[in-house]
Structure 1
Amino acid sequence: MKKKPSAKITHLLDTSALIAYLAEEGGAAKVKEVRHISALPFIVLSELYYVTWRQQDQALADRTIEEVLTWRLPVVYPDQRLSLSAGYVKARYHLGIADSFIAATALAYGATLLTKDPDFRVLGQDLKLLFLE
């Protein structure tokens, strides 16, 4: 992880939370409520980009990323410690590597992860989760 931003990060947004917000789906209001105290794990930008491109097109994917970056949310990039933590999460909970980085980031910050992704349920009480509906 790079140096923690000076503002307290209490929430992390995963890709499904960003999509819910951008598409005004269920849970969008909660994302809006906590956006100012949230951060993005780096891999969320990659997932958002490829999902948008795959479902729509590259031009919309480019515009979507540009919009998200205007929010000026801290983006958490992995250092060696976070990378190893993601490896631990992947080995222990059998998540995909992207979800493992997202979960490891939430654990490192002690942050609540906003998500619609049921795959995170395997972490049980180890991870603070807020499921969007």
Structure 2
Amino acid sequence: MPNIPPLPKPSSPSAPESVNEKIKAYVLDSHARLALLQREVGQERVAGLIELAHKQKAALYISLINWGEIFYIVARRQNAKVAKELMQDIEKLPLALAEVNRARVQAAAEVKSKYPVSYADAFAVALAREYGALLVTGDPEFKAVEKMVSILWLGD
């Protein structure tokens, strides 16, 4: 994996530099990564963020749950072999994979209990809140949480 600022532990008073405004932090949901893969609206913006991350001018994160969502979407649309190859390609990107733990599950469950978003999307919202990061998406489902988290809309 590329050199990316470390992820803080939940409830940790010391967040990585990316969250402390020295480097801008972004959380990609599955829609953002799939936009790049499928050359959809917003692909240029996602590619630009990846380029900034390569230059260590941005920190990119994705929840393990959203990573799994990308896998099953690609496997369903194409097949598991293509999905596995894509996941190997994703692991080469300057994109930190945020593991799931009890605190993150609870935070996502709280989001899901209050807002009409999918459970996977609730993990992206919770992670963006945890890191004070911009959530990158083009999925209109996230309009419901615009007051809860800052969103970088693809296609705007």
Fold match by TM threshold 0.5:
yes
**Structure 1 SS opposite 2:121:** helix
Q: 1:23 is matched with which residue? A: 38
Mapped to 1, the partners of 2:101 and 2:87 lie a distance apart of 23
Mapped to 2, the partners of 1:68 and 1:7 lie a distance apart of 23
Mapped to 2, the partners of 1:6 and 1:105 lie a distance apart of 14
> Highest CA radius of gyration, 1 or 2?
2
Unaligned regions of 5+ residues in structure 1, if any? none
**Structure 1 SS opposite 2:100:** coil
Mapped to 1, the partners of 2:61 and 2:38 lie a distance apart of 19
The reply on whether 1:53 has 2:75 as its aligned counterpart is: yes
Choose 4-13 or 56-65, whichever is displaced more. 4-13
Q: After superposition, where does 1:60-79 map in structure 2 within 5 Å?
A: 60-79=82-101
Query: 1:91-119 CA deviation, whole Å, 9 max, x = no partner?
Result: 11132211111111111111111111111
Question: How much has 1:42 moved relative to structure 2?
Answer: 1.0
Task: Give the letter aligned to residue 18 of structure 2.
Answer: K
Number of equivalent positions: 132
Q: 2:135 is matched with which residue? A: 113
Unaligned regions of 5+ residues in structure 2, if any? 1-5, 9-14, 20-24, 54-58
**Structure 1 SS opposite 2:95:** coil
Q: Structure 1 residues 3 and 111, CA, compared in 2 at 3 Å: closer, same or farther? A: closer
Question: How much has 1:6 moved relative to structure 2?
Answer: 4.5
Q: 2:119 is matched with which residue? A: 97
More helix by proportion, 1 or 2?
A: 1
**Structure 2 SS opposite 1:75:** strand
Q: 2:29 is matched with which residue? A: 14
Mapped to 2, the partners of 1:121 and 1:18 lie a distance apart of 18
Q: 2:3 is matched with which residue? A: none
RMSD: 1.8
**Structure 2 SS opposite 1:67:** helix
The TM-score, its normalising length taken from structure 1, stands at: 0.90
